[in-house]
Amino acid sequence: MHIPENYLSPQTCAAMIGVMAPVWGVSIAKVKKQIRKNRSLVTQMGIGASFAFLVMMFNVPVPGGTTAHAVGSALLAVLLGPYAACLSVTMALILQALLFGDGGVLCIGANAFNMAFVISFLGYGIFVLCKKLWKKKGDTVGAFLGGYIGIVVAALCCGVELGLQPLLFRNAAGDPMYCPYPLYISVPAMVGAHLIIGFIEGGITVAVYSYIKKVAPQTIYNPTGELVAAGAQAQGRRTWRTVMWWIIGVAVVLSPIGLLASGDAWGEWGSDELLGWLRKYHLKAVLPQSFTRKQEYHAAFSDYTIPGLDSGWQAAIGYILCAITAILVFVIVTRVISALINRGKSAEAVMAGSSNSIGDAGMASAAAAGRALAAETNDVPADATDISCSFLASGDMASGTADNASENHER
C-alpha cells in the first residue's frame, strides 16, 4: 500500500499533504493534552511506531502474483487513541520512505492518509460503535472489525488515488503521465488483495488488544478521562511496555519471513515490471512520462537491504539489522521529545518559583514602606501596620496555596 515515487502527480501529492496537515495539527494538539495526564505516552508512541514498522515488514503473497502487508494502525488506535496512533504510524512511514525507500518521499501525505489516518480513525470508530452495540464481547468484535474494515477502506482510498491519475493527467499523445492503471483496474486490485490481508490486520488487533485488556486494562485509551490510582496506572504502563517489547523482539527475529514472499506489492513496480503488467492488463505498453524522466530519491538502505548483505542468508541478517535500526531511531526520537517536554516542565516550575519569590519580596517591601509611613504621620501604629500587612500576606499565601491545590487536582 506504499505508493512509490512517480505514481502520483505533484498536484496530487501536494493535495494529500494539504489534507493531512490539519489532521497532523489536530493530532499533535490532542496528544499534548494526553501527555499532561500520561507523560509516558511519548515512549508508548515510539513503541507503537516500532510495532507498525515491523508489521509492515511481513509481506504476504496474495492471488495475482503480488504481495501485501498489514499495518497495525487499528491496534494502536485502540490502545493509545486514534490521534497518537496517527502520529506513530506517520513517524514509521516517514522513516520507511527516507531511510529504506519504502514509499515515495513526495507521497508521504497520500500514504499517511491511507495508513495512518483512515485505518486509525475508522478502525477506532468501528471499535467504539461495536462496544455500544454489544455490551458483551462488543469490544472484541469491534477490535477485529476495526482492523479488517479499516485496512480494506484504506486500500480502496489507495486504489482511487492511483486510478485517478490516468483520468486527470495525460500528455499530448493521450498517454498517462503517472500511474497508468485506470480505476476499473486499480480499485479491484487493491481492495481484492486487502480483503485477504484484512484477516491478518483484524487478527493482530484482536489478539494483542485482548491480551493487554487481560494484563493491563487500565492502560487502554479512555477518552472520558476516568481517573485510575497512580500506582495501578504506573504498574499497568510497565506491563504494557514489557508486553509490547516482547512482541517487537519476536517480530524482529521472525522478520526475514517477509523475504519469502516473491513479487512486489501491487502498483509498486519498477519500469520493467510496469511494462509487463501493462501488457497483462491489455493496456498500451508505454512507460508514463514520470518514469522516463524520473528523479528518484535513493535511500541508504533501499528495499531493506544493507550493502554486502543482500543475498542468501545474509539478506536475512540485513533485514533484521534494518528492523533494529528503525527501532533505535524511534527510541532516540522519543527520548529527545521526552527530554524537551521535561525541560519545558522544569522551566515552568522555575518560573512559578521565581514569581512566588518576587511576590513575597514585594509584600515585604510594602510592609516596610507602610511602617515607615506610619511612623512619619503617626496616623497608624506600627503594630497595626504590621498586622494589616501580615493579614494581606497570609491572604496572598492562602490564595497561592488554593491555586496550587487546584492545579494539582487538575493534573
Distance separating alpha carbons of residues 411 and 38, to the nearest angstrom: 10
* Alpha carbon of residue 270 to chain centroid: 29
- Local structure of residue 56 (DSSP, 8 states): T
Q: How confident is the model at residue 360 (pLDDT cuts 50, 70, 90)?
A: low
Q: Reduced to 3 states, what is the DSSP secondary structure of residue 170?
A: strand
Q: Does the structure show a pLDDT above 50 at 192?
A: yes
Q: Reduced to 3 states, what is the DSSP secondary structure of residue 67?
A: strand
Q: How confident is the model at residue 369 (pLDDT cuts 50, 70, 90)?
A: low
The predicted model gives 331-360 an average pLDDT of: 73
Q: Does the structure show a pLDDT above 50 at 399?
A: no
pLDDT of residue 362: 54
pLDDT of residue 227: 52
When the pLDDT of each residue in the chain is averaged and rounded to a whole number, the result is 85
pLDDT of residue 297: 78
pTM above 0.85, yes or no: no
Closest residue by Cα to residue 271 from 287, 283, 285, 284: 287
Q: Name, of 162-171, 306-315, 340-349, 401-410, the range with top average pLDDT.
A: 162-171
Q: Does the structure show a pLDDT above 50 at 398?
A: no
pLDDT tens-digit readout, 228-243: 556 778 888 899 999 9
Q: Does the structure show a pLDDT above 70 at 128?
A: yes
**Environment class of residue 341 by beta-carbon count within 10 Å: exposed (0-12), middle (13-18) or buried (19+)?**
middle
The more confidently predicted of residues 98 and 404 is: 98
Distance separating alpha carbons of residues 19 and 113, to the nearest angstrom: 8
Q: Which helix (H) or strand (E) holds 270?
A: none
For the chain, the first-to-last Cα distance in angstroms comes to 41
pLDDT tens-digit readout, 143-160: 999 999 999 999 999 999
Q: Which helix (H) or strand (E) holds 144?
A: helix 138-163
The more confidently predicted of residues 291 and 397 is: 291
pLDDT of residue 63: 86
Contacts of 170 (CB under 8 A, 6+ apart): 176, 177
Q: Does the structure show a pLDDT above 60 at 404?
A: no
pLDDT of residue 408: 42
Q: Does the structure show a pLDDT above 80 at 124?
A: yes
Q: Does the structure show a pLDDT above 60 at 359?
A: no
Closest residue by Cα to residue 70 from 129, 146, 126, 181: 146
- Local structure of residue 289 (DSSP, 8 states): H
Q: How confident is the model at residue 393 (pLDDT cuts 50, 70, 90)?
A: very low
Provide the b/e sequence for 12-28 (b: ≥16 CB within 10 Å).
bbebbbeebeebbeebe
CATH number of 10-304: 1.10.1760.20
Q: How confident is the model at residue 185 (pLDDT cuts 50, 70, 90)?
A: very high
Closest residue by Cα to residue 75 from 54, 61, 60: 54
Percent with pLDDT over 70 in the chain? 81
Q: Does the structure show a pLDDT above 60 at 411?
A: no
The predicted model gives 31-43 an average pLDDT of: 91
Tell me, what amino acid is at 228?
Answer: V
Q: How confident is the model at residue 379 (pLDDT cuts 50, 70, 90)?
A: very low
Q: Of 25-29, 98-102, 103-107, 261-265, which range is least confident?
A: 261-265
pLDDT of residue 328: 97
Provide the b/e sequence for 242-276 (b: ≥16 CB within 10 Å).
ebbeebbeebbeebbebbebeebbbbbbeeeebbe
SS percent in the chain: helix, strand, coil, step 5: 75, 5, 25
pLDDT tens-digit readout, 273-292: 888 889 989 898 888 988 88
Q: What is the CA radius of gyration of the chain?
A: 28
> Is-contact 77 68, C-beta < 8 A?
no
Provide the b/e sequence for 51-61 (b: ≥16 CB within 10 Å).
bbbbbbbbbbe
Distance separating alpha carbons of residues 323 and 53, to the nearest angstrom: 8
Q: Does the structure show a pLDDT above 60 at 119?
A: yes
